[in-house]
Each structure stands twice: as structure tokens, then as C-alpha cells.
């Protein structure tokens, strides 16, 4: 009997007091991620971000897993892509940045499928040598992409155009969809090896992939609507099938 794929999903630190009645910090992830992965037939495991060293390596952390989901969250430290922080920067977690960057390298080395969502797309672009636009909210000529993009609440839907024949289009089964958007940063310079595969109506990159293996990134949040939108659930189904 084939076992269910074991998928690692990166979690996020919450400070003490963020969870009512808790006097210590917590590890968090909106359950839409794990629900969608479970519907797709995977066993999902929440990974706590930890400092990596010679004893606790990214390759060792990822070793038991068949797939990696880079989840949404706070901003990537802009120093990771050679820029100084702008005032709107929020939610930077240096341990999480280093942890996820290490996991990306380990996954690419092993050929482990990667699904990167929102912050995950941004982190993956930085890991591959790209840069980010640190604050797009309120900029003339751009759509509304969410209420600052921090935390699981809020957000807005908008249409996304997807490149025909791309891994993303094949996974979703369409070249047009409505994605739930909740971010204030975006891809600026796409990483050299990445291929843009999806765009919002204002031209922002909403998805990219790598030519080799199954490495797919989306800027919107498919986990928010996957329970009611079969198109978004199919992205998780395709990812788990690849795992």
C-alpha cells in the first residue's frame, strides 16, 4: 500500500500574549493550508522555525519529507537582497528567513517539490537571486492587493491571468482564476532561473516556476478559498501528486 506523502509546512513565531491566555510564545499557521493538503491526500507537518547550525541542518530537517510548502507571513529582510529597509517593513523574522532559505536549498538539492505561497513566493524569489518591491500598497496604477498583507485576516479577491502550458496552468486546469490577495510586497526583479507564469491586471507577477522539477510559486492565497473553489484546491492536489 502506498503511504500518504509527508509534507512540511513552515510555521511562524507568535510573541507571548498573542494567543489569549498564553503567557508564552506560540507557533502558528492558518489551518487553510493543512486542510487543503489533507483534502489532497497528504499528511501535513508544521515546522517550527529554528536556528540552523552544523548539528541542526536544513537538509536534516527536510530529510523525512516528500514536499515543502513555504507559507505566507511577514516580510523578508531586504538586506537579504541588498536593500535597506523601508519604513513600511513589518513582521521580519531573521530566524525564519534563514530557516526557509536553508530549506529551499535543501529541497532544490534533493528535487523535493515546492509550493510557495505569498511570502513564500517572495522568499523563494530572494533565495534564487531575485529582489522585492518593499511596499506597493496605495501606489497609483496598481490594484488593491490587500490591507497591508500582514497576518491571516483581511485581503481581497482579484483576477489572475496564467500562462498557458505552464505547470501552474496545468495544475489549476485554467488560464484564468480569481485569487485571494493579501500582501503589500511583490516581486520586483524576477530571479534569473525563474519563469513568470501569472500576472494580475496591473502587471504584477502573481506566479512563477522553475523549468526543472515541480517548483511553483503564487502570490495569492489559494488556501483561503480552496474549500469552496475547486480551481484553488487543484493546486494543492497537483502539488501532492508531485510529492
CA angle (160, 9, 226) in 5-degree steps: 40
Which three three-digit cell numbers place residue 187? 516581486
Active site residues: 118, 221, 223
Instruction: Spell out the residues 6+ positions from residue 20 whose beta carbon is closer than 8 angstroms to its own.
Output: none
Task: Give me the phi and psi of 78, to 5 degrees please.
Answer: -65, -20
> What is the Cα–Cα distance from 74 to 123, expressed in whole angstroms?
10
The answer to whether 93 and 12 have CB atoms below 8 angstroms apart is yes
Amino acid at each position: 500500500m502506498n503511504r500518504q506523502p509527508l509534507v512540511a509546512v513552515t510555521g511562524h513565531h507568535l510573541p507571548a500574549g498573542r494567543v489569549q491566555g498564553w503567557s508564552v510564545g506560540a507557533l502558528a499557521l492558518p489551518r487553510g493550508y493543512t486542510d487543503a493538503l489533507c483534502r489532497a491526500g497528504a499528511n501535513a507537518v508544521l515546522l517550527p522555525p529554528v536556528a540552523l547550525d552544523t548539528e541542526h541542518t536544513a537538509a536534516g530537517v527536510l530529510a523525512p519529507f516528500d514536499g515543502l510548502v513555504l507559507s505566507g507571513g511577514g516580510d523578508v529582510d531586504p538586506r537579504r537582497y541588498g536593500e535597506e529597509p523601508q519604513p513600511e517593513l513589518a513582521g521580519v523574522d531573521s530566524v525564519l528567513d534563514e530557516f526557509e532559505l536553508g530549506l529551499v536549498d535543501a529541497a532544490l538539492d534533493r528535487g523535493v517539490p515546492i509550493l510557495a505561497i505569498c511570502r513564500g513566493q517572495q522568499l523563494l524569489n530572494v533565495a534564487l537571486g531575485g529582489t522585492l518591491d518593499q511596499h506597493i500598497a496605495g501606489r497609483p496604477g496598481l490594484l488593491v492587493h490587500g490591507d497591508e498583507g500582514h497576518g491571516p485576516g483581511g485581503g481581497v479577491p482579484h483576477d489572475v491571468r496564467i500562462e498557458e502550458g505552464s505547470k501552474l496552468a496545468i495544475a489549476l486546469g485554467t488560464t484564468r482564476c480569481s485569487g485571494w490577495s493579501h500582501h503589500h510586497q511583490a516581486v520586483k526583479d524576477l530571479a534569473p532561473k525563474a519563469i513568470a507564469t501569472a500576472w494580475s491586471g496591473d502587471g504584477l507577477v502573481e506566479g512563477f516556476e522553475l523549468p526543472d522539477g515541480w517548483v511553483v510559486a503564487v502570490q495569492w492565497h489559494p488556501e483561503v478559498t480552496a474549500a469552496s473553489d475547486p480551481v484553488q484546491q487543484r493546486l494543492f492536489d497537483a502539488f501532492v501528486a508531485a510529492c
